[in-house]
């Protein structure tokens, strides 16, 4: 099939996963191998199983070799756990034994492996949490490696790219991304991928502009084709005109200058012009992200998602393993606070008899705190680990998806019981451990004044709150346009929550994506949020905004916004206000 004939200035929009602008020529990485799926005779089964096992052994050797090379590079050592994850996948019983079982059904190794990979992908696709769902990309990476070995295709080594270029591929594995020579790879774009894939995380760590999820870009480009990548907006321009090239060269210059300018704010306090302190904390998914929190000078961890500890295993982590993990993060936090959110995922992975895959609407089913209270034994193990870790540093515990007072009281009772046990056993913990809840359901907003009497702090999870409040699945392409953080109903919900916290004298923070959007910073402070927790890379821009605005001005702006009737009216006023106040940050025209 030939390449699509392209016009000058062909615009594509994917998922911008690593900010920055890259301009260069394409280096098209070869596509995935063609997989020969066929039936085999019963007499060929043993030989085919042996061939598959040799591929697994060869894959392990390749990953161990890459790990040895990467371990010599200080800036990548923090990410070695990703290669360990891939090595564990190669040992996974469902993958290895499942493939052998398919081979015994007289399917060749490639076909058997493909069938099992499809089953594993289906399991991940049913996970509601975006970060955990993206872990299917690690299964894909391992699967592709095995398929390449089985098909006799040589291993790709992006580290051998010899000239400055933009890498274009159907997909890139974390192992391949780790081998990139930053001096020669200006940026990359892929057909596949998501914002929270390990490849995307690595791209941000390496400061490589990247856009993923373009679906068919590999069928549209050819080697040496000029391309522009905007990793902030997700825009990719194929065959740019001279005029477009000039425009983006100027944008790149402005972006690079702004990034250098933001570095001056790194160690300055996050305080408004009327001296209101607003700590900016980092959201943490995996232990290695602590390096990004330090890099961007976030003040501790405002949301540590513990789900990663439970991923890729048939049994949940025990108390000691969790305790050690939490203590290690506290150690790296250097005395700053760490807010640990309890498990926020459905429980069918660990309690198969629940048959949660049959739930008609898993987003509203047995997940998060509902699952934890349903499975007390599992919940108590995590709570004991968190309480023990509180003796290692400043810990706060956060309960997700609370919808009523009874749930938080049940959680507090469990903490009290565990504290009594620890006292009996002589195990130290912080008796003043702060307890917080996620405000992410409409019911929690409506009774926020009651919930505020029960806890030490609120943390608003805007991602789920917006979906539930507006009845919009942002992953559904037909209604995603309705997912709007500036909907008047959302602003009123946030104001009601902040007012309830203020009246009760407790802290209220925000940890959803809204917190990291610098355009919203003045509004969030005006609403009454005491701290913001975000992707660490967003901290410098948000800090610069906060240091040049006042809380008083934010309050005046919020009064104006609450009188408006539509999202469009709200966004127009905010954009006008921020362009007037900070033209350097917000004057760039939209794509």
Catalytic entry in 170, 511, 530, 538? 511
Contact between 310 and 345 (Cβ < 8 Å): yes
What six digits make up the tokens of 469? 């409040």
Q: Is 394 assigned a catalytic role? A: no
Structural tokens at position 484: 């709007």
Q: Is residue 198 among the annotated active site residues? A: yes
Q: How far apart are CA 463 and CA 440, in angstroms?
A: 8
The token pair at 567 is: 């999202």
The whole-angstrom separation of Cα 398 and Cα 386 is 11
The residue behind tokens 């702090």 is 457
Spatial distance between the Cα atoms of 401 and 558, rounded to a whole number of angstroms: 27
Q: Could you tell me whether strands 226-230 and 235-238 are parallel, antiparallel, or unpaired per DSSP bridges? A: antiparallel
Say if CB 401 and CB 370 are below 8 A apart. yes
* Torsion angles phi and psi, residue 462, rounded to 5: -70, -25
Given 79, 170, 198, 530, which residue is catalytic?
A: 198
What the block records as the tokens of 259 is: 């990034």
Distance between CA atoms of residues 112 and 259, nearest Å:
49
Give me the residue label for tokens 């429980």: 347
- Render 150-183 in DSSP notation, one character per residue: HHTPPPP-GGG--SSEEEEES---HHHHHT--TT
> Are 440 and 129 contacting, i.e. CB atoms less than 8 angstroms apart?
no
Q: How far apart are CA 343 and CA 326, in angstroms?
A: 13
Nearest to 123 by CA among 150, 92, 152: 92
Q: Which of 337, 309, 558 is nearest to 432 (CA)?
A: 337
Residues annotated as catalytic are 198, 511
């Amino acid at each position: 099939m030939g390449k699509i004939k392209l016009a000058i200035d062909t615009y594509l929009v994917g998922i911008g996963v690593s900010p920055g602008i890259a301009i260069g020529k394409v280096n098209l990485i070869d596509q995935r191998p063609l997989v020969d799926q066929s039936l085999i005779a019963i007499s060929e089964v043993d030989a085919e199983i042996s061939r598959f096992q040799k591929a697994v052994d060869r894959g392990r050797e390749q990953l161990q070799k890459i790990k040895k090379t990467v371990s010599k590079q200080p800036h990548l050592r923090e990410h070695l756990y990703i290669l360990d994850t891939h090595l564990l996948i190669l040992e996974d019983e469902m993958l290895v034994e499942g493939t052998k079982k398919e081979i015994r059904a007289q399917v060749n190794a490639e076909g058997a492996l493909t069938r099992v990979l499809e089953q594993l992908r289906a399991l991940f696709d049913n996970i509601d949490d975006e970060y955990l769902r993206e872990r299917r990309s690690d299964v894909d990476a391992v699967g592709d490696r095995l398929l390449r070995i089985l098909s006799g295709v040589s291993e790709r080594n992006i580290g051998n790219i010899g000239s400055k270029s933009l890498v274009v591929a159907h997909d890139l594995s974390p192992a391949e991304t780790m081998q990139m020579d930053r001096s020669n790879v200006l940026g990359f774009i892929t057909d596949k991928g998501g914002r929270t894939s390990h490849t995307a995380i690595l791209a941000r760590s390496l400061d490589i502009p990247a856009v993923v999820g373009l679906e068919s870009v590999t069928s549209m480009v050819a080697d040496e084709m000029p391309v522009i990548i905007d990793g902030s907006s997700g825009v990719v321009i194929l065959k740019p005109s001279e005029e477009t090239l000039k425009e983006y060269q100027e944008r790149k210059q402005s972006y690079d200058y702004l990034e250098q300018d933001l570095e001056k704010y790194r160690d300055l306090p996050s305080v408004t012009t009327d001296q209101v302190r607003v700590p900016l904390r980092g959201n943490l998914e995996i232990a290695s992200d602590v390096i990004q929190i330090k890099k961007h000078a976030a003040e501790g961890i405002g949301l540590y998602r513990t789900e990663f500890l439970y991923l890729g295993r048939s049994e949940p982590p025990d108390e000691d393993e969790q305790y050690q993990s939490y203590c290690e993060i506290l150690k790296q936090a250097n005395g700053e606070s760490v807010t640990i959110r309890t498990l926020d995922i459905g429980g069918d992975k660990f309690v198969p008899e629940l048959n949660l895959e049959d739930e008609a609407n898993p987003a509203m089913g047995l997940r998060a705190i509902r699952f934890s209270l349903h499975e007390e034994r599992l919940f108590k193990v995590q709570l004991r680990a968190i309480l023990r870790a509180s003796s290692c540093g400043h810990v706060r515990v956060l309960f997700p998806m609370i919808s009523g007072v009874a749930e938080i009281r049940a959680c507090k009772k469990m903490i009290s019981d565990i504290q009594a046990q620890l006292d009996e056993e002589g195990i130290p913990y912080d008796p003043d451990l702060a307890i917080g809840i996620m405000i992410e359901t409409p019911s929690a907003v409506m009774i926020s004044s009651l919930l505020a009497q029960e806890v030490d702090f609120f943390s608003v999870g805007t991602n789920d709150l917006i979906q539930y409040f507006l009845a919009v699945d942002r992953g559904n392409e037909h209604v995603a346009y309705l997912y709007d953080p500036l909907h008047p109903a959302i602003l009123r919900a946030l104001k009601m929550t902040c007012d309830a916290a203020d009246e009760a004298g407790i802290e209220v923070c925000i940890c959803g994506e809204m917190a990291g959007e610098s355009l919203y910073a003045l509004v969030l402070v005006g609403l009454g949020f005491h701290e913001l927790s975000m992707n660490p890379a967003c901290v410098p821009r948000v800090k610069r905004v906060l240091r040049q605005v006042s809380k008083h001005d934010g309050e005046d702006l919020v009064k104006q916004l609450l009188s408006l009737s539509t999202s469009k009216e709200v966004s127009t006023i905010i954009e006008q206000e921020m362009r007037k106040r900070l033209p350097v940050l917000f004057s760039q025209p939209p794509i």
